[in-house]
């Protein structure tokens, strides 16, 4: 089975995914990076030039390709789990682990919002993070496991995920 990290931006999906893949000796796929490579520009530029709907189409295509691979670690973008078809495809071949963090921790980890199209236009990024988290909570709750990464190191989150996914395996 694949291990699929979902959850809001700034919760550590990329850093955890990379280390988790090393730890388990599996290939690591980061969907946002795959999309950037395919488009030849950054996520922020894709949103700016082609719009969010185009980005979501690219994301859906990347999800469906990644979900067909065997035994990989996948880090999704924060919005991938909003789409029913994405969740269905990822669940068919993988265990979904949602990383969470408090809005304050997310705000700190996100840093410069200019690289985050969903936050870059907000007058108050923390308030926007809280609003989006509340709106997305039911989607992130579709995960098989949830790990609160607010106060854990990357290695600690990796070990928590390993314990969860190997339990009963
Ligand atoms: C998004 C999160 C981003 C990226 C895009 C949209 C979202 O990924 O896919 O900006 O809708 O939450 P990260 O979660 O890796 O920042």
Q: Where are the domains of the chain?
A: 2-166
Say how far residue 53 (Cα) sits from the centre of its chain.
Answer: 18
Ligand 1 pocket, residue 17 CB under 6 Å: no
Q: How far is CA 6 from CA 9, 22, 41, in A?
A: 9, 18, 23
Token output for 56: 């979501």
Mean pLDDT by 10 residues, the chain (169 residues): 97 98 98 97 96 98 97 98 98 98 97 94 97 98 98 98 87
Ligand 1 probe mutation, 38, 43, 81, 103, most atoms within 8 A of CB:
43
What pLDDT score does 151 carry? 95
Gap between the Cα atoms of 17 and 13, Å rounded = 6
The predicted pLDDT at position 169 comes to 62
CA separation, residue 150 to residues 72, 116, 140 (Å)? 25, 20, 16
Q: What b/e readout covers 15-27, taking b as 16+ CB neighbours within 10 angstroms?
A: bbbbbbbeebebe
The residue assigned the tokens 């236009």 is 121
pTM above 0.95? yes
With a 6 Å cutoff on the Cβ, whether 12 touches ligand 1 is: no
As assigned by CATH, the class of the 2-166 domain is alpha beta
Q: Give the pLDDT confidence score for residue 81 in this predicted structure.
A: 98
pLDDT value at residue 168? 61
> Measuring from atom 11 of ligand 1, which residue has the nearest CA?
79
């Amino acid at each position: 089975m694949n291990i699929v990290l979902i959850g809001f931006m700034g919760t550590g999906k990329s850093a955890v995914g990379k280390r988790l893949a090393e730890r388990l000796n599996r290939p690591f796929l980061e969907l946002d990076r795959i999309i950037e490579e395919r488009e030849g520009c950054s996520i922020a530029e894709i949103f700016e030039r082609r719009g969010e709907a185009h980005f979501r189409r690219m994301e859906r295509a990347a999800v469906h390709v990644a979900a067909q691979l065997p035994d990989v670690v996948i880090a999704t973008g924060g919005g991938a789990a909003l789409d029913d078809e994405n969740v269905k495809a990822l669940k068919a071949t993988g265990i979904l682990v949602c990383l969470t963090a408090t809005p304050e921790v997310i705000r700190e980890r996100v840093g410069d919002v200019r690289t985050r199209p969903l936050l870059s236009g907000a007058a108050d990024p923390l308030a926007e993070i809280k609003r989006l988290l509340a709106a997305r909570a039911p989607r992130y709750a579709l995960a098989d496991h949830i790990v609160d990464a607010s106060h854990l190191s990357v290695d600690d989150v990796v070990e928590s995920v390993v314990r969860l996914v190997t339990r009963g395996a």
